Amino acid sequence: MALALGHEPALDPAGQKDPHERQALNPRWLAGTILTGLGGGSLLVAALALSVDNASVAPERAERLTQTSGHGAGSGGGARKGDKLTRAVEAVGAKQSFRAPMTLKVADREVIKVRNFVRVATTLSTVSGPLAAEIPPFNATKLMTQDTSSDRSPEPAVEAADADVSLVKSDLSAAPADALGDQALSDVEVAAQVAEERRAIRDSGRRYLPTPAQTLMMRTIRTGAGASDLSSYLPAPAASPFSNIEVRVVPENVSNLLKRDPDQGDPALEERPILVRRGDTIESILQANGASPEEIRLIVAALSKNARSYSVAEGRTIRLLLSPARGGRAQILRATVANGEQIETMAAINDDFAYVNVAPANAGVKPARPQSQDDEDEDDDGSGLRFYNAFYETALRQQIPRPIIDELVRVFSNDVDMQRRASPSDSFEAFFTDDEGDLDLMQAEISVGGETFRYYRYSNPDENFTDYYNEQGKSARKFLLRKPIAEGVFRSPFGMRYHPILRYSRPHNGVDWANKIGTPILAAGNGVVISAGWSSGYGKHTEIQHANGYVTTYSHQSGFANGITAGARVRQGQVIGYLGSTGLSTGPHLHYEVKINDSFVDPMKIRLPRGKELAGRSLEEFQRYRDQVDELIQKAPGVTPKLAQASR
């Protein structure tokens, strides 16, 4: 019999009564959905705002650039064109500031004081920057008339009370023998040290390294008579178990190599500039410089581009690059014919040891030069900045104080023409102190055209003056000036010439410098005025007697400076007159002559001595000061120590 189950629905284990019952609200799910919507909406709004942001800025209409002349609107015409762009070379420099002790002499004692030092080493920048407007105009008259030595007061002495350490040196020969004490070893002490060495050899089976004499003396040094008796109550120090062990530190895998300057190049190469004179031929010049007949034939053929003959004009310059070949005979590697700075033709040896014609990189192209408002020399075809502007702007970039810059200009002007064109290879170095604004230039170095000039500022206590000297103790100032005029153009050289007024050839015993009337004329050196007045064809004429038989004359002046009379003493760079055109003259110029023992010499070619040389005790003191400055420079951060000074 079957059991009747009825028509009731089945029971739900979860207890749900209605199969279609609505789900309860989930707060977390609702909150997550709202946050997601807000985040997505914010991103969409931000994207739309950024995409339409540029639309709110009104575009500006492009304007055409108008070229103007560098000399102002009134000069007419456009900007001066060049054949090629001037290469912009940035200066590479380094500046270090550090503190170091320095020994200074004050009266009868030496004081050691820690000072702030600044070292700047940099190449010159050949491009003009924003600091060009801060460069003062070049004033040659002020530069030449301002003395850097005798007119300067000596350096202020450092007070001994301000020194960190003060030393007094005394002569030991005058001290009594008892004051030196008795530090000799007794026989017992000597025997004890010998026994110690023997015991060490017996125990170890080998000898130790020799013990320094100072260490041996320290083992037996005795207390002086003035020592306190309290030391006798102290316990005897225990002997260290390591007292007889000597330790040596030997570096391994270390190679010592001598430093070599990469700028020195191959010392075997030599370049000879030769000026072609009347009667010279390319064959005779090559033969005089060691070329064989076959080399002469090949070089001439290469210079003439395989023509039958080649002639070189008078006044041209031939530059020969020589290298010693086998057997010691010089071999010509390159021959260049140039007219001033312009290369006409060039021949060089190739890898097959044959001479071929080489086209220079700038053949037929004159380098462009920047124009400036104060550039009045239209005949100068050089490129880049003038040396004065390049040097001053580079120094300003390195944040060198202006008093130090002006001092450097005065020192370097003795050997460098500040109106020449600067080269990217030119560089300078300055080392000075900066103690809370107390500036003191100590060393200056400049490299121009492959030549390096280094000077030290030194105060001579014996003569009570300060000057700049090179490494050998010779003054930076030359004995005589070759150009006794602030600014001028070289017009006529020394030698035979056709006189433009007298209409015949006669010796020209001096050189002519042309400029406008009234240009100051400077004394070429220290001396005494012999005469100042009218002298026939010389016009207004001045003669000055210098040391060692030198006499300089200045002719065709328009007037004399105040106080320039016979017997007056003048110093180098002092204004003695003004340029004019008096006497037999075709235009305003200065006729400058130099006589040695009443014989005329060429002022532009004579070998002029330096103004002053230190000797004796002064030279020894200067050398000690020079070495101390060099040691301070080596302490600057990032400076590579120098193994030797080749010039000393």
Run of H or E residues at 32: helix 27-51
- Residue 640 has phi, psi (to 5 degrees) of -80, 125
- For residue 59, the SS3 value is coil
Tokens of 391: 């040097």
Q: Which of 137-141, 503-507, 513-517 has the lowest mean pLDDT?
A: 137-141
pLDDT exceeds cutoff 50 at 495: yes
Nearest to 416 by CA among 441, 381, 391: 391
pLDDT of 552: 93
Q: What rounded mean pLDDT belongs to the chain?
A: 73
Q: For residues 416 and 269, give the distance between their C-alpha atoms in angstroms, rounded to a whole number.
A: 26
- Does residue 21 lie within any of the structural domains? no
- For residue 295, the SS3 value is helix
Task: Mark whether 347 and 428 lie in a shared domain.
Answer: no
- Does residue 428 lie within any of the structural domains? yes
pLDDT of 226: 46
Tokens of 640: 């590579």
pLDDT in tens, 545-589: 987 788 999 999 989 999 999 999 988 888 999 999 888 888 888
State the Cα torsion 623-627-632-637 to the nearest 10°: 140
Task: Mark whether 498 and 583 lie in a shared domain.
Answer: yes
pLDDT class for 34, splitting at 50, 70, 90? very high
Beta-carbon-side half-sphere exposure of residue 457 (alpha carbons within 13 Å): 23
pLDDT of 78: 46
- Give the CATH number of the domain where residue 568 resides: 2.70.70.10
CA angle 544, 548, 550 (to 5 degrees): 35
- Does residue 474 lie within any of the structural domains? no
531 CB burial (10 A radius; 0-12, 13-18, 19+): middle
- Does residue 301 lie within any of the structural domains? yes
| Number of independent structural domains in the chain | 3
- Give the CATH number of the domain where residue 351 resides: 3.10.450.350
Task: Mark whether 531 and 562 lie in a shared domain.
Answer: yes
- What is the arithmetic mean of pLDDT over 490-517? 81
pLDDT in tens, 431-471: 988 877 778 888 899 888 778 888 898 887 766 677 888 88
Residue 74 falls in which region: left (phi positive, over 0), alpha (psi -120 to 50) or beta: alpha
Cβ atoms of 409 and 428 closer than 8 Å:
no
pLDDT of 156: 46
Q: For residues 532 and 561, give the distance between their C-alpha atoms in angstroms, rounded to a whole number.
A: 10
pLDDT exceeds cutoff 50 at 74: no
Whether pTM > 0.85 for this model: the answer is no
Run of H or E residues at 302: helix 293-303
Tokens 């270390």 found at: 254
pLDDT of 497: 77
- Percent residues over pLDDT 70 in the chain: 63
pLDDT exceeds cutoff 60 at 382: no
pLDDT exceeds cutoff 80 at 235: no
Task: Mark whether 565 and 500 lie in a shared domain.
Answer: yes
State the Cα torsion 260-261-267-270 to the nearest 10°: 170
Which of residues 357, 376, 411 is at a domain's end?
357
pLDDT exceeds cutoff 50 at 400: yes
Tokens 């010691």 found at: 328
Cβ atoms of 641 and 634 closer than 8 Å:
yes
- Does residue 309 lie within any of the structural domains? yes
Task: Mark whether 593 and 497 lie in a shared domain.
Answer: yes
Tokens of 58: 């009104």
pLDDT of 184: 63
Cβ atoms of 629 and 431 closer than 8 Å:
yes
Centroid of chain to Cα 642: 17
More confident residue, 152 or 612: 612
More confident residue, 93 or 557: 557
pLDDT in tens, 506-534: 788 899 998 888 889 999 888 899 999 99
More confident residue, 236 or 370: 236
Q: For residues 98 and 115, give the distance between their C-alpha atoms in angstroms, rounded to a whole number.
A: 8
pLDDT of 165: 63
317 CB burial (10 A radius; 0-12, 13-18, 19+): middle
pLDDT exceeds cutoff 60 at 636: yes
Q: For residues 136 and 395, give the distance between their C-alpha atoms in angstroms, rounded to a whole number.
A: 13
Q: Which of 147-151, 159-163, 599-603 has the lowest mean pLDDT?
A: 147-151
User: Domain span at residue 332?
Assistant: 270-357
- Does residue 8 lie within any of the structural domains? no
Q: Which of 136-140, 198-202, 630-634 has the lowest mean pLDDT?
A: 136-140
Task: Mark whether 502 and 591 lie in a shared domain.
Answer: yes
pLDDT of 369: 43
Tokens of 112: 């050691």
pLDDT of 251: 64
pLDDT of 380: 45
- Does residue 161 lie within any of the structural domains? no
Q: Which of 219-233, 324-338, 368-382 has the lowest mean pLDDT?
A: 368-382
Task: Mark whether 494 and 578 lie in a shared domain.
Answer: yes
Nearest to 400 by CA among 148, 93, 89: 93
Cβ atoms of 532 and 566 closer than 8 Å:
yes
Task: Mark whether 508 and 587 lie in a shared domain.
Answer: yes
Which of residues 318, 336, 357 is at a domain's end?
357
pLDDT of 517: 87
Task: Mark whether 542 and 442 lie in a shared domain.
Answer: no
Tokens of 162: 């301000």
Cβ atoms of 386 and 419 closer than 8 Å:
yes
- What is the arithmetic mean of pLDDT over 529-544? 90
Task: Mark whether 390 and 448 lie in a shared domain.
Answer: yes
pLDDT of 379: 40
Query: Regarding beta strands 355-357 and 342-349, do their DSSP bridges make them parallel or antiparallel, or are they unpaired?
Result: antiparallel
- What is the arithmetic mean of pLDDT over 231-255? 59
pLDDT in tens, 164-197: 565 666 665 555 555 555 556 677 877 888 888 8
Helices (H), 316-401: 387-397
Task: Mark whether 580 and 500 lie in a shared domain.
Answer: yes
3-state secondary structure 426-462: CEEEEEEEEECCEEEEEEEEEEECCEEEEEEEEEECC
Task: Mark whether 503 and 538 lie in a shared domain.
Answer: yes
pLDDT exceeds cutoff 90 at 36: yes
Which of residues 337, 357, 377 is at a domain's end?
357
pLDDT class for 592, splitting at 50, 70, 90? very high
CA angle 524, 526, 528 (to 5 degrees): 105
CA angle 298, 346, 348 (to 5 degrees): 55
Q: For residues 595 and 610, give the distance between their C-alpha atoms in angstroms, rounded to a whole number.
A: 17
- What is the arithmetic mean of pLDDT over 639-647? 47
Q: For residues 201 and 195, give the distance between their C-alpha atoms in angstroms, rounded to a whole number.
A: 10
pLDDT class for 41, splitting at 50, 70, 90? very high
- Does residue 244 lie within any of the structural domains? no
pLDDT class for 54, splitting at 50, 70, 90? low
